[in-house]
Chain A
Amino acid sequence: MVPATGLCEGCMRTIDEIVAWGAASDDAKRAIWAEIRRREAQIAFD
């Protein structure tokens, strides 16, 4: 996890999202995926 953002560096999900993922609907997963893509676009890779 990255302390500053609270995101897993690998999957770009928060702890809440990872815990909820297994029981989430396809729509909810798609919404998280959209958010993941947005987060990825904001990350500056070294």
Chain B
Amino acid sequence: MRLPASMQVFERGWLSANNILFSGRDGATLVDSGYVTHAPQTVALVGHALAGRALDRIVNTHLHSDHCGGNAALRHAFGSRIAIPVFEADKVRSWDEDALSYRATGQQCDRFDFDETIAPGDVLSMGDLAWQARSAPGHDPHALLFWCADEGILIAGDALWQNGFGVIFPELAGEPGFGEVRATLDVIAQLAPRLVIPGHGAPFTDVDAALQRAYSRLDYLAADPVRNAENAVKVLLKFLLIERRAIPLADVAALFETVPLLVLARERFLPRSSAELAQWAVRALEKAGAAAVRDEKLVDA
């Protein structure tokens, strides 16, 4: 796997999305900034890699909490400018936490300001390379891809991972998402990247196989929206668990009555009591090896 010398990938985990650091004559740019509780680590990583230079700009693929949670801290540390997808501008300007998904998911994000917006079709210079922004709805209606035709490299955010893609959130609220995911996968297939840098997991070159897995996964989810809701419940609970490390079993049911997206998933797609749904979700995470029960607590595994 060959990366241009002007770019570095910081492979993080699931709480924080990956960060891509560009350094060139056009300055230093970071694509995506991780989750807020990791912000000090993100500042340390960027500071270490830039060795005393400042981070000039932060660019976000989309504004989920695991992709922009370090924006405020990085701007504070380096005075970085911030560029966000254009359709999010009003929500960020007024810091509308409902519209920005942080309240809906029970996740946190430090408030930040922005200086620039990025529209689909715009070309950004990062690491002395030209990157075109492409629309990537599905996981998030306003998400962007960044495509470098000269290098055949795609920054995919959560639109494509080596094994799947991010939760199709719009469908939970009764908004279209399955068709959008398909259209975005079609765009990626047509670009035919040699290397994809996903929002989570290692960069990969076996793109055709990843696309085939993603199409199969999409077919499976779209065949029955309950599957998408069940997947969303598991992912949201796992995220809260990674953040908190442990959640008392007695508190899990309450999440299905207080976290708006979990409430929505239950009411629209999973008509069970919150206690029953909590029990199901705990079992599902245990079965997947994503959590364990110890001393009446659900713990991250």
Contacts and interface: CB of A to CB of B under 8 A. Distances in A.
Interface of A: 1, 8, 10-11, 15-16, 18-19, 21-23
Contacts of A23: 3, 8
Nearest to A6: B44
Interface in B1-57: 3, 8-13, 15, 40-41, 44-45, 48-49
A19 B48 contact: yes
Contact of A22 (B9, B15, B40, B41): B9
B292 to A, nearest CB: 12
Given A15-B48, A19-B49, A22-B203, A8 B11 contact: no
Given A10-B13, A11-B13, A19 B41 contact: no
Interface residues of B, number: 16
Given A10-B13, A10-B15, A11-B13, A22 B45 contact: no
B176 to A, nearest CB: 35
A8 B9 contact: no
Lowest 5 CB-CB distances: which A-B pairs, in order?
Answer: A22-B9, A19-B49, A15-B48, A1-B41, A15-B44
Given A10-B13, A11-B13, A22 B44 contact: no
A21 B49 CA distance: 12
A36 B10 CA distance: 17
B29 to A, nearest CB: 16
A22 B7 CA distance: 10
Contacts of B242: 10
A16 B10 CA distance: 11
A21 B48 contact: no
A18 to B, nearest CB: 6
Contact of B48 (A10, A16, A22): A16
Contacts of A16: 48
B13 A19 contact: no
B10 A18 contact: yes
A19 B45 contact: yes
A11 B15 CA distance: 11
Contact of A18 (B15, B40, B45, B203): B45
B300 to A, nearest CB: 9
Interface in B67-109: none
Contacts of A1: 40-41, 44
Contacts of B48: 15-16, 19
B49 A22 contact: no
Contact of A15 (B9, B45, B203): B45
Interface string B136-170: 00000000000000000000000000000000000
Nearest to B300: A10
A15 B51 CA distance: 13
A18 B40 CA distance: 14
B40 A19 contact: no
8 contacts: A15-B41, A15-B44, A15-B45, A18-B11, A18-B12, A22-B203, A23-B3, A23-B8
B10 A8 contact: no
A18 B12 CA distance: 8
A21 B45 contact: no
